[in-house]
Amino acid sequence: MAFRVRGTTQEFRFPVWGLLFLALWMLPRVLGVEEIPGHNSHENQGFQIVTFKWHHVQDPYIIALWILVASLAKIVFHLSHKVTSVVPESALLIVLGLILGGIVWAADHIASFTLTPTVFFFYLLPPIVLDAGYFMPNRLFFGNLGTILLYAVIGTVWNAATTGLSLYGVYLSGIMGDLSIGLLDFLLFGSLIAAVDPVAVLAVFEEVHVNDVLFIIVFGESLLNDAVTVVLYNVFDSFVSLGADKVTGVDCVKGIVSFFVVSLGGTLIGIIFAFLLSLVTRFTKHVRIIEPGFVFIISYLSYLTSEMLSLSAILAITFCGICCQKYVKANISEQSSTTVRYTMKMLASGAETIIFMFLGISAVDPAIWTWNTAFILLTLVFISVYRAIGVVLQTWLLNKYRMVQLEIIDQVVMSYGGLRGAVAYALVVLLDEKKVKEKNLFVSTTIIVVFFTVIFQGLTIKPLVQWLKVKKSEHREPKLNEKLHGRAFDHILSAIEDISGQIGHNYLRDKWSNFDRKVLSKLLMRRSAQKSRDRILNVFHELNLKDAISYVAEGERRGSLAFIRSPSTDNIVNVDFSTPRPSTVEASVSYLLRENVSTVCLDMQALEQRRKSIRDTEDTVTHHTLQQYLYKPRQEYKHLYSRHELTSNEDEKQDKEIFHRTMRKRLESFKSTKLGINQTKKTAKLYKRERGQKRRNSSIPNGKIPMESPTRDFTFKEKELEFSDPEETNEYEAEEMSGGIEFLANVTQDTATDSTTGIDNPVFSTEEDQSIFTKVPPWLSPEETVVPSQRARVQIPYSPSNFRRLTPIRLSTKSVDSFLLADSPEERPRSFLPESTHM
Amino acid sequence: MKVSRAYQSELESEEGKGVSSEQIEQLHRRFKQLSGGQPTIRKENFNNIPDLELNPIRSKIIHAFFDNRNLRKAPNGLADEINFEDFLIIMSYFRPIEPNMDEEQLERCRKEKLRFLFHMYDSDSDGRITLEEYRNVVEELLSGNPHIGKESARSIADGAMMEAASICVGQMQPDQVYEGITFDDFLKMWQGIDIETKMHVRFLNMDAIALCH
């Protein structure tokens, strides 16, 4: 039904595709004709300036064109948001494939393009599975591993057996008519049709957004059941070729043994290669540019190796991804990590597109179609019914042991989400027609089953999920508190298990993480990476970064960063950071500086909302501006081509030099002040520490832009921070930043020029604790000039007069220039600021 | 064993399930083992658990066992020793949610669990997690990782505090200062976050394991 509806909608696009396709199709034929005379005349006429060699490029050319068509199709689908929100992409692609297949067939009367098992298993499947493994939420996965394994192993065996046997039973009753199949053929068919398909599940569930637990169970099952499928398929395949009467009990036992060998062996291969991969990436510091390649090559090798040893290749590459992700992500540079992420997603999504399109195309081939209504309908009924029964039975069993119960609704979604896909199709095509007499019937049934599950169930699962009110996954921004409490809970739980003396889930996890920290991480991670790999730190870091970006973005939007300084009285959050501290009482200004803990207030709430709504665009804009902003003139020089290096450090050196020169000047001037260099250095430390206190969503931007962030694609480099003598200007708020900030927002900059991949971020560095908290506004770094609007929190009550210096700035509309103006009395000219390039 | 029987009925009526009689027997065996046959456990006894040594917030957790607030005895202070009943009370904080609980019970259960955590943070029992206390906890939490310095732990705590302040208070007068996280604030922060899996231990098949220690 749904099929037909889709078909009609597709008609609208049909002319376009038809034309395009016909053009594609005609091209080789026309050219092919032309090519022959050209070739013939070649010898006669001597050297030819231009020759036309279609056959020379034919194969890769056609492949590339197909990929292009599939990708273009994706663009077209997404032109209409309405269609893609209702119809899963996989279904659209299948329909498109059917149409294209129809055209090809109409033009040629042979089905020349089909999805061959070799292409599928060697080139299309691995990227998808690797992607799944590499981005697997490990904790969730291992937390539900028991459940997943039960569904994957028992569930699949159950499905295969019941479907096969029931079909056989019905066959004996004679409804299907006269077929030359025996029990074993039915079981073989059952085993290949039983497995839930990872590609189809991913494609459909990614658009549905059910809650994490449900998703991981269905998806995990679809990945892990591969071993079962492979074994069942191989066992029955060999049984069929042996002949039913020659199968002995020994063979059955062998089959069971081979299940364990195949699954555990595949897993082991995966883990070994993951270990290798992690180890290799530990040493790729100097070959950054090929770093991402290792991830793909070694994972792919794990797939091929286990295929070679006839173990479960899917399991191997899944576990390779799962196991290596932590270490690889820590080891490779941020740029490489982004590359890996995008390449993997691109390959996976491309492969998926091609798979579904070619499933459609392959179906248009009269040669493979053998229609048997009873067989096909019954197969559909049986796989759905037995899947449901299996799920209910297993869930009943599991709920006795699970902490979080799987409810009826979950079970419905799980049964309904049992989609079949290309794996089944590829397996059925692999069958040998000589041994399996009714191969064509199996093939056509499989195609119908795949189309039915992907198109019909894929289409209806979204409304079903909404109608049943299945708990959806909510995407929340990570909160620091949540992470901290989560960590506390982990420790508490494992402690309780220790105390009550039992080995539970938490106990094992705790032991594992200890082992990981003590042995594995040390072995597999770069030293610099080891310290930065704490989840909490990462979240903290990320949040800080978001803050920083949103500040700048907001500043961009308003055309000035002045807004940050305007103290708005709404949404102020004050935390008293001046808690008892043992620090010595120091005289005068420095003491004041420390004691007058102050913060800048700004309307972060509003900002936050803005940020959320248009964050992406703003980020891009910011990013772009940052990149162009400050050092454009010098950036122009640096386009030196190098195959092995992405950036030359040329301009960095320049910056450094300029910076040093300026610094020297500044320092000299400081000598005349009372505090001298020593003090400035101390204060610089304050700044650094301070930065850590700034938090997103708080209205106290008393930090500054995170610097040297290895996890970002742009970097703020802060060379040094200095204050001028506060006394000089009569106000402690008048500390100014020297120009000693270098603000690099260079996407391609190699942060990892060396060990800095770790945290060079001053916040995370252990400094002598001076318990000083001075607030420094975050725009310090990007804008070079500073008028920190300090607000004495405890000792000095809030009063607008504290901000009087800011008045001109607040009125200003042009950002940097007005800053410069406002500060110009005490500022020395900043020679390194390319003033003219702003805006 | 007598002890356990005595409290078993009490626990089951009062606490309402979560810990079955069988499990109580096992817990009692474990208790005896920890206490060395004594009727009460002192703090030192916990030091004998080897697995606990690696736990970064070990002292806090052990502390929680002796906390009068958790034992529902007094609003503050520490008990010197706890008997098996107290031990069970603490353990009952971790019982899993029963499927047949109604909304109200669920809410109460959740609150209790969170209160346990709150008490762990609020070491001076003044009903507030102050910045100092928070820093303390974070430092301990992160102490497992030698690469993270005290300084970063502090800034993380500060950051978390700010986040808490902005979640819980939102608007403040300029001269107002956020004193610390109260329990209500704490609940607010947990709003919408599932703790189903985070605060539950299944006291299963402890038999063999408990004895082999």
Residue ending a domain, among A510, A530, A554, is A554
> Quick one: closest CA in B to A144, which residue?
B197
In tens, the pLDDT along A660-716 reads 666 666 665 554 443 434 444 444 444 444 444 444 434 344 444 444 444 333 333
Residues A369 and A408 placed together within one structural domain of the fold: yes
Q: Give the pLDDT confidence score for residue A301 in this predicted structure.
A: 95
SS3 of residue A423 by DSSP:
helix
CATH architecture, domain defined by B106-195: Orthogonal Bundle (1.10)
Calculate mean pLDDT across residues A627-644: 49
Whether the pLDDT of residue A126 is over 80: the answer is yes
Q: pLDDT higher for B86 or A426?
A: A426
Is B156–A499 a contact, with Cβ atoms under 8 angstroms apart? no
Q: What domain range is A200 assigned to?
A: 92-468
Task: Give percent helix, percent strand, percent coil of chain A, each to the nearest 5.
Answer: 70, 0, 30
Could you tell me the sign of the dihedral formed by the alpha carbons of A750, A753, A754, A755, in that order? Answer: negative
The torsion angles phi and psi of A596, rounded to 5 degrees, stand at -80, 70
Matching residue, tokens 């309405």: A82
User: How far is it, in rounded angstroms, from Cα A384 to Cα A364?
Assistant: 25
Q: Is residue A723 part of a domain?
A: no
Residues A303 and A344 placed together within one structural domain of the fold: yes
Q: Is residue A280 part of a domain?
A: yes
Calculate mean pLDDT across residues A366-379: 85
Residue A16: burial class (beta carbons within 10 Å; 0-12, 13-18, 19+): exposed
Domain B5-100+198-204 has CATH 1.10.238.10: yes
User: How far is it, in rounded angstroms, from Cα A295 to Cα A298?
Assistant: 6
Average pLDDT, chain A: 69
Residues of B in contact with A537 (CB under 8 A): 148, 152, 156
- φ/ψ region of A724 (left if φ > 0, alpha if ψ in -120 to 50, else beta) reads beta
Report the predicted TM-score, pTM, of the whole model to 2 decimal places.
Answer: 0.66
Residue A191: burial class (beta carbons within 10 Å; 0-12, 13-18, 19+): buried
Could you tell me the sign of the dihedral formed by the alpha carbons of A244, A249, A253, A256, in that order? Answer: positive
- Among candidates A488, A698, A767 on the partner chain, residue whose Cβ is nearest the Cβ of B162: A698
Calculate mean pLDDT across residues A351-374: 86
Residues A269 and A388 placed together within one structural domain of the fold: yes
- Best B132, B201, B203, B212 member to test A by mutation, with max A CBs in 10 Å, is B201
Q: Give the pLDDT confidence score for residue A317 in this predicted structure.
A: 93
Q: CB distance from A494 to chain B under 8 Å?
A: yes
Closest alpha carbon to B41 in B89, B77, B76:
B89
Is B177–A574 a contact, with Cβ atoms under 8 angstroms apart? yes
- Longest pairwise C-alpha distance within chain B: 61
What is the ipTM score, two decimals?
A: 0.82
Q: Where does the pLDDT of residue A533 fall: very low under 50, low under 70, confident under 90, or very high at 90 and above?
A: low
Residue ending a domain, among A554, A575, A599, is A554
Q: Where are the alpha helices (DSSP H) in A333-435?
A: 334-363, 373-399, 408-416, 422-430
Is A491–B55 a contact, with Cβ atoms under 8 angstroms apart? yes
Give the bridge partners for A575, in sequence order: B178
Calculate mean pLDDT across residues A423-427: 90
Q: CB distance from A478 to chain B under 8 Å?
A: no
Residue A672: burial class (beta carbons within 10 Å; 0-12, 13-18, 19+): exposed
Residues A256 and A293 placed together within one structural domain of the fold: yes
Long-range contacts of A153-157 (CB under 8 A, 24+ apart): A153/A224, A153/A225, A153/A228, A154/A390, A154/A394, A155/A221, A155/A225, A155/A390, A155/A391, A155/A394, A156/A194, A156/A195, A156/A196, A156/A225, A156/A228, A156/A229, A156/A232, A157/A194, A157/A228, A157/A232
Q: Where does the pLDDT of residue A240 fall: very low under 50, low under 70, confident under 90, or very high at 90 and above?
A: confident
Concatenate the DSSP letters of all residues of B127-154 into one string: SEEEHHHHHHHHHHHHTT-TTS-HHHHH
What's the angle, vertex CA A88, arms to CA A82 and CA A94, rounded to 5?
120
Q: Is residue A73 part of a domain?
A: no
User: How far is it, in rounded angstroms, from Cα A830 to Cα A629?
Assistant: 15
Residues of B in contact with A575 (CB under 8 A): 131, 158, 161-162, 165, 177-178
Whether the pLDDT of residue A601 is over 60: the answer is no
In tens, the pLDDT along A72-112 reads 988 888 888 888 888 888 888 999 999 988 888 888 777 67
Residues A363 and A498 placed together within one structural domain of the fold: no
Q: Is residue A705 part of a domain?
A: no
Residues A299 and A359 placed together within one structural domain of the fold: yes
SS3 of residue A795 by DSSP:
coil
Residue ending a domain, among A535, A554, A573, is A554
Q: CB distance from A510 to chain B under 8 Å?
A: yes
Is A510–B130 a contact, with Cβ atoms under 8 angstroms apart? no
User: How far is it, in rounded angstroms, from Cα A239 to Cα A185?
Assistant: 9
User: Are A94 and A360 spatial neighbours (Cβ–Cβ below 8 Å)?
Assistant: yes
Residues of B in contact with A503 (CB under 8 A): 209
Q: CB distance from A569 to chain B under 8 Å?
A: yes
> Quick one: closest CA in A to B87, which residue?
A500
Long-range contacts of A298-302 (CB under 8 A, 24+ apart): A298/A273, A299/A126, A299/A130, A299/A134, A299/A273, A299/A324, A300/A126, A300/A130, A301/A273, A302/A269, A302/A270, A302/A272, A302/A273, A302/A274
Is A481–B171 a contact, with Cβ atoms under 8 angstroms apart? no
Residues A365 and A495 placed together within one structural domain of the fold: no
Can you give the length of chain A in residues? 839
- Best B29, B35, B48, B51 member to test A by mutation, with max A CBs in 10 Å, is B51
Q: pLDDT higher for A57 or A19?
A: A57
In tens, the pLDDT along A468-502 reads 887 776 666 667 777 777 777 777 877 777 777 66
Residues A282 and A404 placed together within one structural domain of the fold: yes
User: How far is it, in rounded angstroms, from Cα B37 to Cα B28?
Assistant: 11
**Number of domains into which chain A is organized:** 2
Whether the pLDDT of residue A429 is over 80: the answer is yes
Residues A463 and A491 placed together within one structural domain of the fold: no
Q: Where does the pLDDT of residue A309 fall: very low under 50, low under 70, confident under 90, or very high at 90 and above?
A: very high
Residues A433 and A522 placed together within one structural domain of the fold: no
Give the distance from residue B149's alpha carbon to the nearest chain A alpha carbon, in angstroms: 5
Is B30–A500 a contact, with Cβ atoms under 8 angstroms apart? yes
Residues of A in contact with B166 (CB under 8 A): 571, 573, 604-605, 695, 697-699
Could you tell me the sign of the dihedral formed by the alpha carbons of A196, A199, A204, A207, in that order? Answer: positive
Q: CB distance from A485 to chain B under 8 Å?
A: yes
* Two structure tokens written together for B120: 């762990």
Residues A445 and A543 placed together within one structural domain of the fold: no
Whether the pLDDT of residue A26 is over 70: the answer is no
Q: CB distance from A688 to chain B under 8 Å?
A: no
Is B51–A580 a contact, with Cβ atoms under 8 angstroms apart? no
User: How far is it, in rounded angstroms, from Cα A229 to Cα A312?
Assistant: 9
Question: Where does CATH 1.10.238.10 sit in chain B?
Answer: 5-100+198-204, 106-195
Residues A199 and A237 placed together within one structural domain of the fold: yes
- Among candidates A492, A536, A767 on the partner chain, residue whose Cβ is nearest the Cβ of B142: A536
Q: Give the pLDDT confidence score for residue A823 in this predicted structure.
A: 41
User: How far is it, in rounded angstroms, from Cα A298 to Cα A291?
Assistant: 11
* Two structure tokens written together for A105: 């067939």
Can you give the length of chain B in residues? 213
Q: Give the pLDDT confidence score for residue A621 in this predicted structure.
A: 52
- Best A497, A573, A757, A799 member to test B by mutation, with max B CBs in 10 Å, is A573
Is B202–A530 a contact, with Cβ atoms under 8 angstroms apart? no
User: Are A372 and A176 spatial neighbours (Cβ–Cβ below 8 Å)?
Assistant: yes
* Two structure tokens written together for A725: 């003598």
B-contacting residues of A 290-349, CB under 8 Å? none
Exposure class string for A283-305: b at 16+ Cβ within 10 A, else e? ebbeebbebbebbbebbbbbbbb
Whether the pLDDT of residue A549 is over 60: the answer is yes
Whether the pLDDT of residue B207 is over 70: the answer is no
In tens, the pLDDT along A162-186 reads 999 998 888 888 777 777 778 888 8
User: Are A423 and A125 spatial neighbours (Cβ–Cβ below 8 Å)?
Assistant: yes
Q: Give the pLDDT confidence score for residue A479 in this predicted structure.
A: 72
Whether the pLDDT of residue A376 is over 70: the answer is yes
User: How far is it, in rounded angstroms, from Cα B196 to Cα B114?
Assistant: 11
- CATH code (residue A360): 1.20.1530.20
Whether the pLDDT of residue A647 is over 80: the answer is no
% residues pLDDT > 70 (chain B): 71
- Longest pairwise C-alpha distance within chain A: 106
